[in-house]
Amino acid sequence: MRTGRLLGAGRTADVYELHADEGESGPHCPDGLAAAAGTVAPGGPADRDGADRHTGRGADRSGGRGADGNTGHGADGCTGRDGAWVLRRYRDGRGDAVAEAEVMEYVRSHGYPVPRVRSATRTEMVLERLTGPTMLEAFAAGLIDPAAAGATLARLLHALHAVPPRTHPAFRVLHLDLHPENVVLAPHGPQVIDWNNAEEGPPGLDWGVSAMILAQVAVDEDDPRAHLAHDTLVSLLAQRPDGPAALTEGGLAEARRRRAANPTMSAREVELVGPAEQLIRRIAGPGPTA
């Protein structure tokens, strides 16, 4: 197998289309999640970099692909009986694609909408190539409005936190990067991509991170998408749950701490963390966190 053109470039990972070598056919693509066996994904040797790169705050994606680079039209990648595939490759030894793939396959086994994974090593993953725009691209095309976007994000968070825990009974799988550029609006429904930040913990942290990501854009007066982010945040927070799965005080505080400590964010982005938290509290109203 060989890699084709670059489909997307994030701050720590690149995504390439895959092609069969001459004489090969699609069924020779890697078959099944081979992470545990350490199978090398095609494409040769070799993000947990935070969500900001997916909010459009830098020129990190190309060609109308989704935030994971795994969207596109047609089956021009590594094709087989199951469709087209792309290669995601971390740069500079970053990331843990095996752990990321295992989380994706776990939530997918419980019906959660994620791309299929064919194989993974520590630095590479072969995954399903999706068709359709990201939610952020759908905004630009007028295909979705902030109210619907916020409602969709809320449903995806609710559904994820309903997946049975993997280890600790009080914890749930958390995406910790769920926002409009990490949701691909595929023909068969929204698909959640980019799971490199995923871990297990209290659902309130997931709500806090998603809210903080949107709020950082919303409070940036120089960002032309600020009003869209603001209205999406309003819709998201209007549908947050009550009780231990809610946007908690601890979850919001930890989300702020993580965003401020994220080494991939610019100084300007870090400056927006405080105002973003204030905006979340204003929108949520008195007693916004449990």
Tokens 């989300």 correspond to 255
Check whether residue 218 and residue 267 sit in a common domain.
yes
Question: Residue 226 CB: number of other CB atoms within 10 A?
Answer: 15
pLDDT for 26 equals: 44
In-domain check, residue 289: no
User: Range of 120's domain?
Assistant: 2-128
My answer on whether 96 and 173 are in the same domain is no
Cα distance between residue 62 and residue 201, in whole Å: 33
Positive or negative torsion for Cα 218, 290, 262, 112: negative
Question: Is there a single domain that holds both residue 16 and residue 49?
Answer: yes
Task: Specify if 71 maps to a domain.
Answer: yes
d(Cα 132, Cα 37) in Å, to the nearest integer?
32
pLDDT tens for the chain, 290 residues long, are 678 899 888 778 899 998 766 544 443 343 333 322 232 222 222 233 333 333 222 333 333 333 344 554 333 334 333 459 999 999 887 789 999 999 999 999 999 999 999 999 999 999 999 999 999 999 999 999 999 999 999 999 999 999 999 989 989 999 999 999 999 999 999 999 999 999 999 999 999 999 999 999 999 999 999 999 999 999 999 999 876 678 999 999 999 999 999 988 999 999 999 999 999 999 998 754 55
> Which of 175, 209, 179 has the alpha carbon at shortest distance from 107?
175
CA 114 to chain centre: 10
How far, CA to CA in Å, does 282 sit from each of 167, 169, 237, 276?
Answer: 35, 33, 11, 10
pLDDT of residue 180: 97
Domain final residue pick, 128, 158, 173: 128
Whether 15 maps to a domain, the answer reads yes
Looking at the domain assignment, is residue 183 inside a domain? Answer: yes
What is the per-residue pLDDT for 181?
93
The structure tokens 């209205």 sit at 231
- The pLDDT, as a whole number, for residue 227 is 97
* pTM for the predicted model, two decimal places: 0.81
Q: Which of 83, 108, 128 is the last residue of a domain?
A: 128
Residue 212 lies in a domain: yes
Q: How many domains is the chain built from? A: 2
Q: Is residue 167 domain-shared with residue 123, that is, in the same domain?
A: no
Co-location of 267 and 192 in the same domain = yes
- pLDDT at position 242, please? 78
Residue 89, beta-bridge partner list: 14, 124
Same domain membership, residue 143 and residue 233: yes
| In a domain? residue 290 | no
> What is the pLDDT, as a whole number, of residue 56?
29
